[in-house]
């Protein structure tokens, strides 16, 4: 660095920035583990002047916060919105997205007292948003009132929110159950509603998105009643089809703004495969050990880091390992903190604040920090395992990176096939595009639910449209059911019920559990856990961790929704073992397809917590088991399934292992195509592959126990692929897929045939490992043969062994 | 897409039951089963105009427009006390003294929200000559709702005090919603409102199993209803009328509503007497005294407590002592505190310490009492610690050593 010219000096400084130092160190020491390096160069800012008509008070508020000009996308949003055009803004994290809507909203509030409704998918995001508006408000003494309105808003404050709020911040569930059915109390608000802001739009997909689209139809119907026609602002993380999704949610054309004017620093992404530790068995070191090592190096260089883990348990374990290194001295403030769902809001707020203020150096999180919670900018992002989708990967990596400074992301692969595929095929990873978000607002049962809710809110008039179609058929049905009463040209609500309470937008419900600490005779609530996480985290004997401090569950009061815990000093953590079983209750219809049969009907799904393992820290030895005594989690839903006769399999495949491999590969492709055709999310459809046992339940094969070795004596070998509707009662996906069964298999065949991979990849039949690639085995053609049998398509073309 | 074919019912049935359209199936379809259940055809037809006239005749009312029947009635009324005592049910200075307008609605449900309609609105006022003039508008079709609301707006007058049972949280918001849906102004908004439910709850919630209007009638008016239809059956009665033309239950609802309205006046008188101190054993004296004290009627509060002093519990006695303290009737206050201190009350002991320190100006006595209190209290009490320290400083430069000398 001595005697260098200024240009060289600058370059060297950037080369020796802590991020570059870390990168160089990693490259030097661990070259063998880095399977690829992906770079994205820095991009400069594109600015636009502040709009001339901007209210001087707003101009002042911006100046106070150091903003003299806008990024190009902010200016573009301003012009569209002022012109009454709805927009969707798709730009990266920390690109000043919220100014895109805050500016026009505040301007309209100042100009004419116009109101705005902000919808966020979670409460945490709402509170963030209010804080940001308040800051602007204070800076410019604007006098604009922004309030959150959600389940936590106290009863006595609700009236003030309704009548005095200029900006009301809420969520779709609250709009659906708390606001629209009581719209008369909000009359003033709706009369003056000018903007509706829908942030984190990419989360409104699949069945949830279909519900939200209908809630927006209801919202616009109510607005029409009050004579307003608000403009919509959608904001989204990167997905393949933001414009399309926004238009489907709104039912109208939407302008897509996807060119960010915000500057970004250079980014490097390392794909990291843990080293092989046992060459004979091909066992690799754990992702966990690699993740902590990389994070430790980053922290040692003073870099602010975020670490994403895929489960809540893994967040706690990683936090403990990092705290053991960095937070050993209890007198000093902690440098590492955990962040996940289940923590009390106060705990989460304090972590967010500490991150923004730079008080902590590393945060370990689940997807909870994937959304736009404001935590300031960070330098390094480490992913402990592939998040499962391209969009989520980008979203998480976007957490690292400050303006004009280099950022580093590291994706550490676990031993999952999908993870291994990704790090071993960097070209695939670099080229694959983010996922499409699909919704089907006209899905029959979803639509019926919302027409019911809409009829409660306002009587339907003959000829009135809902979502661009005449709902007469639905109204007649509801009349026949005794829900509505038709008189003249109007359908009136007639029952003593509140329909919105019977319709849940998401498949989460049933009430949260409180975790109560009774160490030392106290009774203190230390966490709140959602219903679905309880069986796997709060069983009696479980070690429950918060900021990696262990508590042991002493008693779980299932009915009372409480878990009583006591602080403990265990040197182990616990991990639940569960299994899922599925049983056909009734087959509504079946028809031959290919050489097998396709059916749809009702199934019973059962998730049982069998027991738990005690795992010692660091060594990860299994030091004991415990039993879990909990009611089975049951779900009654609808499904579609395909069955092949066992003798066909025996004729078509040389051995059972091949048959199983082919079936699993085909299942992957069919699942993918079914989600696509039913416009649902992958997770809206569950998949099970197995053979029907004596008790009617499906037993699933595994590499250790392939078919039919895993069958009990006397059980029929009856290979079946199930796709079930992943919501209690189902939303009608199975029947729809049954109608489309030909297309589903055709699309799956096309998918596999059209995929350019050699022996299989996550885009077609699921990840295929290099070990397979090197051998004669060809999972792709096995899957192709299986699809040919299932569908009867291209039998001749499918040349199999 | 294939699923767009066929009528909705069979598509819906298809989702759950399966079966391609038009194909014969062993199990009956949903619509078939509904037809067999005969929810519409078995029990008569939806009402027509002549059925409405018949209904109007049965209830002694008049069809003032298609879909709307009005009944008017004058009922003699025996007052149970003077109107003046009604002011005791209000906070001081808030008693409006205008005509009481009793209001009660029957609705299509209790769920709330914009899907709930009032199909019957009853109002009643006391007119000179000790009579009650009662009016009920009964909706016999949805379409006359706007008209009914308009009639109500015309009838209520310009100056009145609303009288209801749970009207503040149920009937009024509901009517407000209905007016809003018909884009007209709510004529009831902004008027003083005497809701008897909170007044009853305040005094009887601890001793009655529930505070419903029928219970209040039974306990306070000694009146049991015969043949009464429970209020919750009203939605069903109206639905039966709309879909099948059944009248009997609906007539029962009208009778029930009329009885509710009449009871409101009698109950107001009865409650006013209770609030004036004419208390039965069931009444919560302390709660009533607290209400009067908050309403600015200290004397009334004191008198009620004194009257029942012999049976007051610790809470009541301390409240009375507190009232004495505010009235600077020290002797009476100190007597209660001393008594309660002897019975182990920490609060009374602290009050006594305060009295000796600030009123009797006897820091030594105050210190002894406060120090005892500190010993007796099971937990750390910052205020108490401060008091002891301060008194210590005043009594003696040396720290308190446990004895006075």
Q: Are B299 and B269 in contact (CB under 8 A)?
A: no
| Chain B residues within 8 A of A480 when measuring between CB atoms | 9, 31, 34
The whole-number pLDDT of residue A799 equals 42
Mean pLDDT of all residues in B2-20: 56
Distance of CA A406 to the CA centre of its chain: 27
- Percent of chain A at pLDDT exceeding 70: 92
Residue B297 lies in a domain: yes
Single out the residue of A368, A286, A371, A421 nearest to residue A779, CA to CA: A421
Distance from CA of B113 to the nearest CA of A (A): 5
Mean pLDDT of all residues in A573-583: 84
Q: How many CB atoms lie within 10 A of CB A769?
A: 15
pLDDT tens per residue, range A648-681: 888 888 877 788 888 889 999 999 889 888 877 7
Q: Which domain holds residue B319?
A: 285-395
Q: Is B15 on the interface with A (CB under 8 A)?
A: yes
The verdict on B203 and B172 lying in the same domain is yes
pLDDT tens per residue, range B196-229: 999 999 999 888 888 989 889 988 888 887 767 7
Residue B404 lies in a domain: no
Q: Residue B165: give its domain's CATH number.
A: 3.30.420.10
Over chain A, what is the mean pLDDT?
86
The whole-number pLDDT of residue A774 equals 55
Distance from CA of B117 to the nearest CA of A (A): 8
pLDDT category of residue A201 using cuts at 50, 70 and 90: very high
The whole-number pLDDT of residue B41 equals 36
Q: How many Cα atoms sit within 13 Å of B292 on the Cβ side?
A: 25
Q: Which of residues 183-202 of B touch A (CB under 8 A)?
A: none
pLDDT tens per residue, range A273-295: 999 887 766 678 889 999 999 99
A493 and B19: CB-CB below 8 Å?
no
Q: Is B307 on the interface with A (CB under 8 A)?
A: no
The whole-number pLDDT of residue B22 equals 33
B2 and A739: CB-CB below 8 Å?
yes
Distance from CA of B369 to the nearest CA of A (A): 31
Q: Residue B303: give its domain's CATH number.
A: 1.25.40.10
| Chain B residues within 8 A of A732 when measuring between CB atoms | 15
- C-alpha to C-alpha distance for A790 and A670, rounded to whole angstroms: 10
- Sign of the alpha-carbon torsion through B173, B175, B181, B185: negative
B111 and A497: CB-CB below 8 Å?
yes
| Residue of A444, A496, A744 to mutate when probing chain B, most B C-beta within 10 A | A496
pLDDT tens per residue, range A545-565: 888 888 999 999 988 889 999
Superfamily of domain A6-40+264-431 in CATH is P-loop containing nucleotide triphosphate hydrolases (3.40.50.300)
> Phi/psi of residue A656, each to 5°?
-70, -30
State the distance between the two ends of chain A, measured CA to CA, in whole angstroms: 64
The whole-number pLDDT of residue A377 equals 78
The verdict on B260 and B203 lying in the same domain is yes
| Chain A residues within 8 A of B19 when measuring between CB atoms | 588-589
Q: Which of residues 144-163 of B touch A (CB under 8 A)?
A: none
Q: Are B160 and B99 in contact (CB under 8 A)?
A: yes
The whole-number pLDDT of residue B26 equals 40
Q: Pick the residue with more confidence: A757 or A626?
A: A626
Of A444, A497, A589, the CB nearest to B19: A589
Residue B102 lies in a domain: yes
The verdict on B194 and B295 lying in the same domain is no
A588 and B20: CB-CB below 8 Å?
no
Mean pLDDT of all residues in B76-95: 80
pLDDT category of residue A437 using cuts at 50, 70 and 90: confident
The whole-number pLDDT of residue A6 equals 37
- C-alpha to C-alpha distance for A109 and A473, rounded to whole angstroms: 41
Of A480, A500, A589, the CB nearest to B34: A480
Residue B43 lies in a domain: no
Minimal-distance CA residue of chain A relative to B41: A480
Q: Spell out the long-range contacts of A285-291 with Cβ–Cβ below 8 A and sequence spacing 24 or more.
A: A286/A414, A286/A415, A286/A620, A287/A384, A287/A385, A287/A412, A287/A413, A287/A414, A287/A415, A287/A419, A288/A314, A288/A317, A288/A318, A288/A321, A288/A384, A290/A33, A290/A412, A291/A318, A291/A382, A291/A384, A291/A412
B18 and A185: CB-CB below 8 Å?
no
- C-alpha to C-alpha distance for A123 and A371, rounded to whole angstroms: 12
Q: Are B240 and B249 in contact (CB under 8 A)?
A: yes
Q: Spell out the long-range contacts of A625-629 with Cβ–Cβ below 8 A and sequence spacing 24 or more.
A: A626/A541, A626/A574, A628/A535, A628/A539, A628/A540, A628/A541, A628/A576, A629/A539, A629/A540
- Sign of the alpha-carbon torsion through A226, A231, A237, A242: positive
Of A476, A488, A601, the CB nearest to B18: A601
Of B110, B113, B242, the CB nearest to A485: B242
The whole-number pLDDT of residue B27 equals 43
Minimal-distance CA residue of chain B relative to A636: B16
A181 and B115: CB-CB below 8 Å?
yes
The whole-number pLDDT of residue A796 equals 43
| Chain A residues within 8 A of B20 when measuring between CB atoms | 589
Minimal-distance CA residue of chain B relative to A494: B108
The whole-number pLDDT of residue A8 equals 35
- Topology, domain A47-257: Rossmann fold (3.40.50)
Domain count of chain B?
3
Q: Pick the residue with more confidence: B65 or A755?
A: B65
Of B17, B110, B115, the CB nearest to A493: B115
pLDDT tens per residue, range A685-742: 888 888 776 666 776 665 555 555 555 555 566 788 999 988 777 777 888 899 899 9
The whole-number pLDDT of residue A426 equals 85
Mean pLDDT of all residues in B75-99: 81
pLDDT tens per residue, range A335-357: 999 998 888 878 888 888 898 88
Distance from CA of B143 to the nearest CA of A (A): 7
| Chain B residues within 8 A of A494 when measuring between CB atoms | 108, 239, 242
- C-alpha to C-alpha distance for A320 and A303, rounded to whole angstroms: 19
Distance from CA of B61 to the nearest CA of A (A): 23
The verdict on B29 and B151 lying in the same domain is no
The verdict on B58 and B206 lying in the same domain is yes
Residue B142 lies in a domain: yes
Residue B370 lies in a domain: yes
- C-alpha to C-alpha distance for A73 and A720, rounded to whole angstroms: 51
B15 and A732: CB-CB below 8 Å?
yes
B115 and A445: CB-CB below 8 Å?
no
Q: Is B3 on the interface with A (CB under 8 A)?
A: yes
| Chain A residues within 8 A of B181 when measuring between CB atoms | 184, 458
Minimal-distance CA residue of chain B relative to A184: B177
Over chain B, what is the mean pLDDT?
83
Q: Pick the residue with more confidence: B48 or B276?
A: B276
A184 and B110: CB-CB below 8 Å?
no
pLDDT category of residue B150 using cuts at 50, 70 and 90: very high
pLDDT tens per residue, range A376-389: 778 999 999 988 88
Continuous H helices in B309-381: 314-326, 330-342, 346-354, 363-376
The verdict on B57 and B196 lying in the same domain is yes
B111 and A488: CB-CB below 8 Å?
no
**Chain A, chain B: beta-carbon pairs less than 8 Å apart:** 109
pLDDT tens per residue, range B94-128: 888 888 999 999 999 888 889 999 999 999 998 88
Containing A56, the helix (H) or strand (E) segment is helix A56-64
**Residue A801 pLDDT exceeds 70:** no
Residues in chain B: 405
Residue B193 lies in a domain: yes
A474 and B115: CB-CB below 8 Å?
no
Q: Is B25 on the interface with A (CB under 8 A)?
A: no
Residue B44 lies in a domain: no
Global ipTM: 0.81
The whole-number pLDDT of residue A693 equals 66
Distance from CA of A434 to the nearest CA of B (A): 27
The whole-number pLDDT of residue A181 equals 97
pLDDT tens per residue, range A143-190: 899 999 988 888 889 999 999 999 999 999 999 999 999 999 999 999
Distance from CA of B75 to the nearest CA of A (A): 33
The whole-number pLDDT of residue A773 equals 53
The verdict on B263 and B335 lying in the same domain is no
Mean pLDDT of all residues in B346-361: 87
**Residue A301 pLDDT exceeds 60:** yes
Strand, helix or coil for residue A43:
strand
The verdict on B93 and B28 lying in the same domain is no
Q: Pick the residue with more confidence: A97 or B290?
A: B290
pLDDT tens per residue, range A233-265: 999 988 889 999 999 999 999 999 999 998 888
The verdict on B178 and B69 lying in the same domain is yes
Distance from CA of A226 to the nearest CA of B (A): 9
The whole-number pLDDT of residue B24 equals 35
- Sign of the alpha-carbon torsion through A748, A754, A759, A761: negative
Minimal-distance CA residue of chain B relative to A587: B18
The verdict on B137 and B268 lying in the same domain is yes
The verdict on B128 and B234 lying in the same domain is yes
Q: Any residues with CB less than 8 A from the CB of A66 and at least 6 apart, and which?
A: none
Distance from CA of B36 to the nearest CA of A (A): 13
The whole-number pLDDT of residue A716 equals 64
Q: Are A667 and A677 in contact (CB under 8 A)?
A: no
The verdict on B293 and B270 lying in the same domain is no
pLDDT tens per residue, range B17-58: 433 333 333 444 434 433 333 333 334 566 778 888 999 999
The neighbouring-strand residues paired with A69 are A49
The neighbouring-strand residues paired with A607 are A580, A633
B275, B306, B336 - which closes a domain:
B275
């Amino acid at each position: 660095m001595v005697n260098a010219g200024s240009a060289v000096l600058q370059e060297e400084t950037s080369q020796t920035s802590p991020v570059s130092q870390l990168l160089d160190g990693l490259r030097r020491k661990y070259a063998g583990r880095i399977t690829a390096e992906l770079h994205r160069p820095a991009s400069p800012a594109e600015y636009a002047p502040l709009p001339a008509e901007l209210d001087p008070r707003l101009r002042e508020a911006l100046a106070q916060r150091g903003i003299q000009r806008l990024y190009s996308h902010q200016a573009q949003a301003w012009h569209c919105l002022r012109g009454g055009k709805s927009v969707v803004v798709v730009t990266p994290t920390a690109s000043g997205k919220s100014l895109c809507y805050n500016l026009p909203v505040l301007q309209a509030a100042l100009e004419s007292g116009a109101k705005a409704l902000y919808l966020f998918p979670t409460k945490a995001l709402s509170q963030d948003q209010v804080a940001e508006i308040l800051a602007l408000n204070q800076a410019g003494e604007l006098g604009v009132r922004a309030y959150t309105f959600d389940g936590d808003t106290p009863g006595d404050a609700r009236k003030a929110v309704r009548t005095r709020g200029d900006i009301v911040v809420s969520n779709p569930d609250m709009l659906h159950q708390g606001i629209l059915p009581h719209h008369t109390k909000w009359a003033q608000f709706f009369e003056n509603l000018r903007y509706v802001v829908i942030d984190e739009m990419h989360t409104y997909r699949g069945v949830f998105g279909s519900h939200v689209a209908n809630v927006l139809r209801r919202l616009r119907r109510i607005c029409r009643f009050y004579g307003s026609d608000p403009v919509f602002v959608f904001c989204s993380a990167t997905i393949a089809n933001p414009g399309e999704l926004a238009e489907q949610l709104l039912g109208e054309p939407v302008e897509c703004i996807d060119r960010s004017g915000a500057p970004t620093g250079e980014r490097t992404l390392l794909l990291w495969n843990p080293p092989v530790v046992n060459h004979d068995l091909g066992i690799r070191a754990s992702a966990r050990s690699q993740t902590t090592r990389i994070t430790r190096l980053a922290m040692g260089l003073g870099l602010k880091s975020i670490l994403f883990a895929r489960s809540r348990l893994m967040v706690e374990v990683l936090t403990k390992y990092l705290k053991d290194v960095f937070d050993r001295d209890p007198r000093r403030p902690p440098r590492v903190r955990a962040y996940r769902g289940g923590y009390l809001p106060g705990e989460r707020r304090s972590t967010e604040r500490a991150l923004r203020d730079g008080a902590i150096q590393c945060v370990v999180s689940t997807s909870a920090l994937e959304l736009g919670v404001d935590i300031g900018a960070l330098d390094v992002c480490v992913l402990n395992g592939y998040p499962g989708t391209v969009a989520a990967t980008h979203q998480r990596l976007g957490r690292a990176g400050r303006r004009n400074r280099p950022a580093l992301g590291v994706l550490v692969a676990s031993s999952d096939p999908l993870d291994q595929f990704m790090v071993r095929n960097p070209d695939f990873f670099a080229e694959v595009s983010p996922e499409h978000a699909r919704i089907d607002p006209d899905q029959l049962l979803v639509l019926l639910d919302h027409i019911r809710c809409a009829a409660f809110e306002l009587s339907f008039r003959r000829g009135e449209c809902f979502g661009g179609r005449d709902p007469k058929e639905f109204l007649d049905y509801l009349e026949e059911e005794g829900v509505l009463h038709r008189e003249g040209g109007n359908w009136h609500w007639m029952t003593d019920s509140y329909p919105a309470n019977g319709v849940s937008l998401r498949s989460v419900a049933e009430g949260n559990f409180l975790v109560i600490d009774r160490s030392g005779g106290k009774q203190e609530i230390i966490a709140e856990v959602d219903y679905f996480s309880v069986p796997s985290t709060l069983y009696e004997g479980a070690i429950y961790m918060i900021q990696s401090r262990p508590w042991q569950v002493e008693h779980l009061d299932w009915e009372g929704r409480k878990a009583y815990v006591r602080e403990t000093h265990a040197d182990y953590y616990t991990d639940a073992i569960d299994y899922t079983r599925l049983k056909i209750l009734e087959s509504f219809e079946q028809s031959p397809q290919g050489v097998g049969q396709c059916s749809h009907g009702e199934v019973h799904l059962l998730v049982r917590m069998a027991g738990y393992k005690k795992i010692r820290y660091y060594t990860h030895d299994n030091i004991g088991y415990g039993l879990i005594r909990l009611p089975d989690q049951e779900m009654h839903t609808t499904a579609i399934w395909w069955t092949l006769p066992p003798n066909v399999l025996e004729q078509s495949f040389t051995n059972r292992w091949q048959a199983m491999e082919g079936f699993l590969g085909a299942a992957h492709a069919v699942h993918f195509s079914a989600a696509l055709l039913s416009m649902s999310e992958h997770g809206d459809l569950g998949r099970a592959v197995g053979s029907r046992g004596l008790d009617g339940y499906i037993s699933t094969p595994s590499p250790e126990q392939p078919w039919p070795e895993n069958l009990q004596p006397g059980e029929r070998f009856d290979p079946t692929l199930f796709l079930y509707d992943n919501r209690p009662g189902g939303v009608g996906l199975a029947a729809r897929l049954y109608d489309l069964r030909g297309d589903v298999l055709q699309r799956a065949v096309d998918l596999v045939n059209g995929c350019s991979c050699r022996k299989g990849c996550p885009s077609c039949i699921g990840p295929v490992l290099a070990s397979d690639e090197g051998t004669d085995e060809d999972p792709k053609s096995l899957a192709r043969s299986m699809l040919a049998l299932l569908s009867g398509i291209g039998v001749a073309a499918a040349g199999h062994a | 897409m294939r699923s767009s074919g066929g009528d909705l019912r069979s598509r819906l049935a298809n989702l759950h039951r399966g079966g391609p359209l038009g194909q014969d199936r062993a199990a009956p379809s949903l619509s078939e089963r509904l037809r067999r259940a005969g929810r519409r055809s078995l029990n008569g037809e939806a009402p027509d105009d002549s059925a409405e006239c018949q209904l109007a005749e049965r209830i002694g009312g008049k069809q003032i427009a298609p879909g709307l029947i009005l009944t008017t009635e004058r009922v003699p009324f025996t007052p149970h006390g003077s109107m003046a005592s009604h002011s005791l049910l209000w906070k001081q200075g808030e008693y409006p003294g205008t005509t009481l307008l009793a209001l009660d609605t029957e609705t299509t449900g209790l769920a709330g929200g914009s899907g709930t309609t009032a199909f019957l609105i009853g109002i009643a006022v006391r007119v000179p000559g000790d009579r009650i003039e009662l009016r009920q508008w009964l909706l016999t079709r949805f379409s006359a709702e706007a008209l009914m609301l308009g009639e109500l707006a015309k009838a209520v007058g310009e100056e009145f005090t609303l009288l209801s049972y749970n009207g503040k949280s149920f009937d009024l918001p509901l009517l407000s919603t209905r007016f809003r849906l018909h884009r007209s102004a709510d004529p009831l908004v902004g008027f003083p409102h005497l809701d008897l439910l909170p007044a009853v709850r305040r005094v009887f919630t601890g001793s009655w199993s529930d505070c419903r209007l029928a219970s209040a009638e039974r306990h306070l008016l000694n009146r049991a209803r015969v043949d009464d239809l429970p209020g919750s059956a009203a939605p069903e009665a109206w639905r039966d009328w709309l879909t099948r033309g059944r009248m009997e239950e609906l007539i029962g609802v009208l009778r029930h509503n009329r009885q509710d309205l009449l009871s409101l006046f009698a109950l107001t008188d009865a409650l006013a007497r209770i609030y004036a101190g004419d208390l039965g054993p069931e009444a919560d004296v302390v709660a009533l005294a607290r209400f009067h004290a908050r309403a600015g009627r200290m004397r009334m509060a004191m008198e009620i407590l004194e009257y029942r002093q012999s049976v007051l519990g610790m809470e009541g006695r301390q409240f009375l002592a507190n009232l004495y303290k505010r009235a600077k009737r020290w002797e009476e206050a100190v007597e209660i505190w001393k008594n309660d201190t002897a019975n182990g009350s920490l609060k009374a002991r602290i009050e006594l310490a305060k009295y000796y320190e600030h009123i009797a100006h006897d820091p030594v006595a105050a210190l002894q009492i406060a120090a005892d209190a500190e010993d007796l209290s099971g937990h750390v009490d910052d205020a108490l610690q401060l008091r002891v320290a301060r008194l210590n400083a005043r009594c003696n430069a040396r720290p308190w050593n446990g004895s006075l000398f």
